[in-house]
Chains A and B, each alone.
Chain A
Amino acid sequence: MEPLLQVKALRVYFYTEEGTAKAVDGVDFEIEREQTLAIVGESGCGKSVTALSIMGLVRDPPGRVVGGSILYHRSESILDIVKQNSRGPVMRSIRGNEIAMIFQEPMTSLNPVYTIGNQIVEAVMLHQKVRPREAKERAVEMLRAVGISTPERRVNSFPHELSGGMRQRAMVAMALSCNPSLLIADEPTTALDVTIQAQVIELMTSLRAKFHTSLMFITHDLGIVANIADEVAVMYLGKIVEKGAVRDVLHGPLHPYTQGLMSSIPSLHDKKGKRLVPINGIVPSPYNVPAGCAFAARCPRVMDTCVKIVPELMEMPSGRKVACWLHAGSRMEVRS
């Protein structure tokens, strides 16, 4: 498979009055063409910051990409996004055009004083050499593609005139209007009701196939991961702790954190009275990351090594990757 994006040893730190927060601390992953990678984790694990660094949108100060690379494979060249000036012409031609992003809250990411048509037209005209009339036609066509009824009328609506689900559809339309090769969706359905969430997920799955777009889907909901992704990366406190094909990870989680997440979710098949098995304790502060494995203090299977040495993300014979000393015996080879 051909990679579209390779993130290598990415580190993003935030320098604040309280100290240095290691929001992303050595993250490696790849996104292949026309594949969907889900990044799952709880609040503060660094999943959104990872996405923002790919877009070149980490605000500096206080944030800074302090290490690693983000290799973006364009049609004939490979570009390291980390090395680009985030305000320069190269990034401006990529952002919103080749790599597009959808945010969680559609009400705050759409401009309330412009019609949704204007906002889509703006994105199209900025990146593609088309006349205003063609851009407008493109906007209507995109709104139709995302299942908005009477798009000729809706194109002149303001964001407040649309419901939450429609606004998120309009965001999807805008993000796909320049036919990006990568779409990053950061919790796009979290603010929506379940039936509307199901509609939007179904829509994104079908549009991904139609537009041949790769998708990076950030969520905290393992249920959504099962529905949309090919691969999943589980993040905890700035690091990927487990990565693999969705079916493998959800059917047989290797890392105690992933196992804990799975047992924390009430299942529809549980008998009444079955107790949930939560993860003890709370996530440590990113300003004060413990030595050794960041999960050690909450881990039910913690060993001496865990509190001393940070486990690397290791590849198992099955091709799965996990950062845990429990599985150190069965890894392929030690990476020096």
Chain B
Amino acid sequence: MSALPPLLVVDSLKKYFAVRRNAQERGKSLVQAVDDVSFSIDQGETLGLVGESGCGKTTVGRTVLRLYKPTSGHIYFRVDDDCFDITSLSQGKLKGVRRQMQIIYQDPYSSLNPRMTIGSLLEEPMIVHGTKSKAERKERVLSILNAVGMKAEHARRYPHEFSGGQRQRIAIARSLVLHPSLVVADEPVSSLDVSIQAQVLNLLEDLQKEFKLTYLFIAHNLSVVKHISDRIAVMYLGKIVEMARTDDLFHRPRHPYTEALMSAIPVPDPDFKMHRIALQGDVPSPMNPPSGCRFHPRCRYAQTRCSNEEPRLNDAGNGHFAACHFMETLTLDSVSD
């Protein structure tokens, strides 16, 4: 790719949440939602972040935008030639950087204010960042509605008048109206029906080309993530266990969790018989994660070393990283023939 430095660098990010287990208990315990996560995204790239519920993928997305303040670690974000450490910016400076980073939420039924018209919903970000004249704001609203496949007359209507797919288009329009460079898309299609899901995925791809967007695409559906991402990071219990270019990951998974996750994808072909690796049990609580490798109690290849020593994310070559002690020796099943 380009010689430019990455648009976003996340370095050893940790985010712990303090919770009380029950009313009697005085002492607080910590949920290690994100525990030592590092990655970077180049300009124009799509990084898919995939994992099951509770793995911390949403927390990563929100911390990147500093909607949560990280417990430790750094997030560097590049605006033109300047690089900012999001984690230590003052509120005032943060606001200037924020217009370059936007988010699309999962549920377009709760992310759009029901009392505001579509026009005012789309105008609000521009008012907040206060640089535009009213006429210019109106013009931008119309052009962004057009870009997401909606009509000018929709600006006067309210969210309840639209279907789920149309609402998600509006939410996408709102995130793009300030022309950000980075968009965090948090499960943007998982609440939509499949026929509508395909429309929105195509739209996201078109908009990426048109506006030169960089996506952090968070989802639990591996087929969707594979479709849209250049690279994929797989998370398990607050950690990235594997990260690779999309084709490499599917061709040769290096972590047993990725292998199990892939084998669990329901493929709409009755003749496609993949050896299904049934994971035993449930995901452990992030309040009390297992020792050593966090996946070891459910891993079919686990050995004693796995419960004692935590594996580091190691480079297996060609930008393919995996956190497994035995990644060089294991031969894992892949989906691609």
Contact = CB atoms under 8 A, between A and B. Distances in A.
Contact of B282 (A165, A267, A274, A277): A165
B279 A264 contact: no
A227 B273 CA distance: 9
B197 interface: yes
B266 A221 contact: yes
Among A166, A263, A265, A275, the most chain B Cβ lie within 10 Å of the Cβ of A265
Contacts of B301: none
B40 interface: no
B164 to A, nearest CB: 8
B202 A193 contact: no
Given A195-B260, A223-B265, A272-B246, A247 B270 contact: yes
A225 B202 CA distance: 25
B195 interface: yes
Interface string A31-64: 0000000000011000000000000000000000
Interface in A229-275: 246-247, 250-251, 260-270, 272, 274-275
Contacts of B230: 272
B308 interface: no
B90 to A, nearest CB: 39
Contacts of B283: 193
Contacts of B198: 263-266, 276-279
A279 to B, nearest CB: 4
A166 B260 CA distance: 19
A283 B269 CA distance: 26
Contacts of B335: 268-269
Contacts of B263: 198
A282 B166 contact: yes
Given A199-B278, A276-B202, A43 B193 contact: yes
Nearest to B194: A264
Nearest to A225: B268
A278 B268 contact: no
A202 interface: yes
A156 to B, nearest CB: 19
B261 interface: yes
Interface string B170-200: 0000000000000000000000011111110
Contact of A194 (B52, B165, B195, B201): B52
B226 interface: yes
A11 interface: no
A194 B222 contact: yes
Interface in B225-244: 226-228, 230
A126 B225 CA distance: 47
B233 to A, nearest CB: 17
Given A163-B282, A247-B270, A265-B268, A193 B220 contact: yes
A222 interface: yes
B51 to A, nearest CB: 9
B271 A247 contact: yes
B276 interface: yes
Given A42-B195, A220-B194, A266 B278 contact: no
Q: When A and B form their complex, which 7 residue pairs have the shortest distance between CB atoms, in order from nearest?
A: A223-B266, A278-B198, A266-B227, A264-B198, A222-B268, A42-B193, A193-B52
Given A42-B193, A264-B194, 14 more contacts: A163-B282, A195-B260, A195-B279, A197-B266, A199-B278, A226-B266, A226-B272, A261-B194, A266-B198, A267-B223, A268-B226, A269-B337, A278-B196, A282-B166
17 contacts: A193-B220, A194-B221, A195-B260, A196-B52, A223-B268, A227-B266, A247-B271, A250-B269, A261-B194, A264-B194, A265-B198, A269-B336, A270-B226, A272-B246, A276-B202, A278-B196, A283-B193
Interface of B: 52-53, 163, 165-166, 193-199, 201-202, 205, 220-224, 226-228, 230, 246-247, 250, 260-261, 263-272, 276, 278-279, 282-283, 335-337
Interface of A: 42-43, 163, 165-166, 193-199, 201-202, 220-227, 246-247, 250-251, 260-270, 272, 274-280, 282-283
